[in-house]
Structure 1
Amino acid sequence: MTVKLDFEECLKDSPRFRAAIEGVEGDVGELETRLEKLVKQCNSMLEAGKVYCQNSKNFITGLKELGQHCVADSMLTESLQKFSSKLSVIVDAQGELMETTQKSVKLKLHSFVKEDVRRFKDVRKEFERSSENLEAALGRNAQAPRAKLHEVEEASNTLLAARKAFRSEALDYVLQINVTESKKKTDILAAVLSLIEAQAQFFQLGHQSLTEVEDYRKNLSEQHTQLVLNSAREKRDMEQRHAAIKTKDISYDDSIMDFSPDAPSGIAMEGYLYKRASNAFKTWSRRWFSIQKNQLVYQKKFKDQPTVVMEDLRLCTVKTSADNERRFCFEVVSPSKSCLLQADSERQQQGWISAVQNSIASAFQDCREVQHSPRGRDRCSSVSNSSGGQSGEQESTGRQALEEVQKIQGNSQCCDCGEPGPDWASINLGITLCIVCSGIHRSLGVHFSKVRSLTLDSWEPELVRLMCELGNTAINRIYEARIEEITIKKPHSTSPRQDKESWIRSKYVEKKFIQKLPETGRAAPLRRSSARRNRANTQERTGSRPALKPKPNRATLPRLTGLSLSDIGQKNHAGALQDEEEEEDLSGLHPGALLYRSAALQQFPVMADALAHGADVNWVNTTEESSTPLIQAVSANSLAACEFLLQNGANVNQADSNGRGPLHHATILGHTGLVCLFLKRGADYNAKDNKQKDPITIAVENANADIVTLLRIAKMNKEMREMDGAFGQSGDETYQDIFRDFSQMASNNPEKLKRRSTDMKIP
């Protein structure tokens, strides 16, 4: 069965969908006209026996015309053409015995026109009415003044109801279109087959002519039977999918918004926005905007030529517009002009701002070609300043991060091509990159590499510490361990972009150059040693943790050049695992278990190596209360290790068998810096463990004033945002300032966070 329209496309309600709807409606109208004509011709044969032969010829002509209309369906077209040609041979011999068959044809086609087509028209009317209501609700919602909250709420509720009704009617309409398309084929084939079968049975004069198509008729009958079964099955599947989509949460008011710079269509982002005209009336018009070819364009209809708003996003910056009376406004500004736009919601507003910023950052790749001339450097600098839009304080933080990170071994050159002075970084890999390689990394997706500017972006202290724990030399020992065995030549700074892109994908996506995992790296889950069990029992009883060994420095970490995971396990014997782990052999650990152990020991290169070999960042050790690598890093009070795991996709709310997540453990152990980190990363401060204790209760019981303060401020900030409604601000400035101060203290002066309040009382 051919699916005319896709359910996902109808939810998007794009000009493509509208254009497809217009095409389908025209097709159904044409089909209705031809079928009604065919039914009338069939009726004429029954009522006018004396002119039967002539009417039969007209009917045959109608079949031929229908076959020409269904030229896209080869089986239907071929069958109609074959049968009509055979019928024309025996038309003079046909008589009253055809009446039964003709009635069958008439009833089937008449039923299709009167029932299915009418049902299609009824659903179309409901769709058009809901579309008009949605358009009106969108207009009222956009026009609702910011200051009149009751009008805003009324407009928002009206828009929500209109959108729900529209999406429901749109899904029903698409379902009806696809069902009508399927039923059209089966009904027409059934009518024609009944006609041919009756002709073969009752008319000896036509036997010879019909015998010539007997095999084809039988084959087509079998195909029709199978087609009916397939159609019923597909209809059931389609109805189930239709029902499943209708049960989804459609209360949100945003279209699917994914920034995709490498989309095959060349469109990185698209959706509806209101645009304020630059004329004296300052009128607002709703247009379909898209980001493509480093330009911001819009169009009114799908077939219209796009109108370019911003010709070169490299020369633009984007910012919110709070001075305007209308909500959700943002402004794209270039040196020559500005464009004021309005989204339908705050989420859409932030999505478009992020998309424009990402497009601007991607455009920085073009600056490298002119960087070597003073004129080119000036131009790139101006583009960077306009696109970054950072405050003086953030720029200072970026310069400090650049200085600290570039001091690490190997970081003074790009990790992938060796260009000196890289000022971009991949924060989940812990490497520095030049502007060209950073663009390639960005195109890999954030699940492979998260790119950030060392000079334009603000850097949290824990991110700087993480970058200083790894570095290009350590990471290349992992991802280029077998480079001598491979014939591929590593690109240099002047290599073409295509060579760099091929190298980076082979290195980080396909992982062609890492050491292969030995078969011994498939051991069973880790067993808890007696020392670890005793330590855990002590922790459970006292609520505190014995002092940890000093963290191994870079000199004591295993050298990764040419080492497999089994070699790393043996090296760990000689260095970091001297205490309770000295009797445990890590040579047989699989990557998940190795990540688990190295997270507790804060051995960042080993953690990176485990992830490179496919370790699950949320690996669960079932023999140690379902603990995870992130919980192990919490036990070691390692801010940088936790940040490393979070940047690589660790679940900040994954709990152990006691129902305790990382935030619970950080609260129990009194690690204030980690509590601050987890709250910033979205940890649930209301989650309860198996003893029905949430982190706030645990912090109060442990009399930890700093942690209680952080948890209560986070809770209060969320409650304030909920009171402000769905369109509240993203965070109170005081709340942000407090968390920024705690982050700085946790990274630079952690001893100040070790105080407790002995006189704290449980409220």
Structure 2
Amino acid sequence: MIDTGKAFCTANKQFMNGIRDLAQYSCKDTLVETNLTKFSDTLQEMINYHNILFDQIQRSIKTQLQTFVKEDIRKFKDAKKQFEKVSEEKENALVKNAQVQRNKQHEVEEATNILTATRKCFRHIALDYVLQINVLQSKRRAEILKSMLSFMYAHLAFFHQGYDLFSELEPYMKELGAQLDQLAVDAAKEKRDMEQKHSTIQQKDYSSDDTKLEYNVDAANGIVMEGYLFKRASNAFKTWNRRWFSIQNNQLVYQKKFKDNPTVVVEDLRLCTVKHCEDIERRFCFEVVSPTKSCMLQADSEKLRQAWIKAVQTSIATAYREKGDESEKQEKKSSPSTGSLESGSETKEKLLKGESALQRVQCIPGNAACCDCGLADPRWASINLGITLCIECSGIHRSLGVHFSKVRSLTLDSWEPELLKLMCELGNDVINRIYEAKLEKMGVKKPQSGSQRQEKEAYIRAKYVERKFVEKQAASVPLPEPGTKVLPPSQEEKRHSVPEKSLLAGEQGAASPKVRSSDSGIQPSTDDSREHLASTISANSLYEPEGDKQESPVFCDSKQPSPGLQLYQAAFEKNLPHMAEALAHGAEVNWVNVEENKATPLIQAVRGGSLVTCEFLLQNGANVNIRDMKGRGPLHHATVLGHTGQVCLFLKRGANQHATDEDGKDPLSIAVEAANADIVTLLRLARMNEEMRESEGLYGQPGDEIYQDIFRDFSQMASNNPEKLNRFQQSDSQKS
């Protein structure tokens, strides 16, 4: 019974976890989520009561009765054996005494003495045996009744606890029942309305089948217009395929199936034009032309074609008018482009998965409990913050937006090796020391695992979005280098400001795969461009061997460096906690050091040689295609330095390998000159895979399986066996 009860509790807990997952999946429906969460909490309490009941049964019946059987009955059996033995001896003495002849006086006396002694012993053993019988019978009654009484009291407590629990829940259940009755009435009314509309629609004439789609540039979900269009493939056969297109976030995207990840056709509508096409055989066609490619589309009717063309034109005009939020812009830049190697359908053997990721991440200090509420055994993580979360806090983090927190499951999702190493470099203790530095000073009480969701949500938003508990950083004033003329404030601001036209030119350069270096190099915002200081690496020693590099002096006063400079320096020093602290203080992840060839923290991370540092910056919105004053982006620098793992990472994150530096060299030509076979292989494979996808019209697809396997192997080696990728540097040193 106990074993079956425990199995029942295990199955019941699985069911309760399923209810909680269902509540999480229904986060957009407040009524369903709130009620399922409350019911799952009640079921959890009942499981706890069941476990207490079975523990009491274990002690009250099983343990006590086993003691009675093993000890008391064993003593009784020993006494019984002694009694049976002395009874047999007495019978033998009686037989022997009866058999002795009268004339043998000596034998008569001996037999008589033995019989007397045996009878005396028999009386003592018989009395002891009777005593053991009486004691056992008495104890048997007491033990059985005592055990059963304890058993019944355990049930009494169990049912009292359950009754009290559900008595508190009963008013809530009655209220929900009333709401459900009203929902049923509303659903019946809605059904009647839909049937009436259906009947009205059936009476209409649809012979022309012209359904005009309305467009709305201010749509709440960001989708200006959506619908089916035929798309002509760019392969040799020029086949036409029907796809679901939509205009959203100033982009034109399409999906092959509903659940597929959208494939971006035009990354920025401001750089494209749209026009009618009357010179092909098909009707209702129009063309969307961008600086790098053109896309031929066909609507189902002339009205639909006009609607799509007007929607695209309106979106282009709106994109020019809107300034846009800088953080959202950076997040869009950091997301993988159509050339990215990653897709939503990753093979299950691709990455570390399941309990291995959970165990490795939970071993980090503080990660055994939720970072925000302290609930034990968290199964979710924020990959850009490097913390572990419970399922409820993970839902709140997901509602903040990916520019604040990117949530992933430690047991359900696959984990790339570099991402897993990133999680192991940070942890809850490190992040809480940064984001909760002023918590005690402000007298704010941190929510617990049992706190209301509204309380947790308010705390998490204040902690990560508003950053109320982060210790304010002292103002930084970079000192000029010796001999440098100090400019007046107006001239200094002008010298470090970046014209808007330059920013637009940089974005256009990033969108085109074959732009010259003079058209690239996206500049930071004006505020961030003022944060500058001499880097820890001089420009002349940029590509010296890592062992010979010396840090150049930093000329600043005793105050704390600016957040942007702190991020810049920490990226080279491979110090992830300092990088996280700089971001918490408001550092721009794409901050540009104008004194060091306009290098970014991501370029500094490449120079430092840390794969995990690069991954951390990319997860926090770093643009993989921003280039320095010499036209070299992170992929250029990683290629020059021979950092194979970083090259693999940047290619996976959508780096543009066609970009050329001021010398007209792209990363492939640099790798060929350096005779770095590994990097040449990666770049050529990526280029071949990109051309293959474009020729077959497979935008957004992961590419060939062999190609994925090769990149997967390089990622594993770069994270777990980096020494295997140092063959290039070792061979160079041997030659020298």
User: Which has more radius of gyration?
Assistant: 2
Q: TM-score, normalised by structure 1?
A: 0.47
Q: TM-score, normalised by structure 2?
A: 0.48
Query: Larger RCO: Structure 1 or Structure 2 (Cα < 8 Å, ≥ 6 residues apart)?
Result: 2
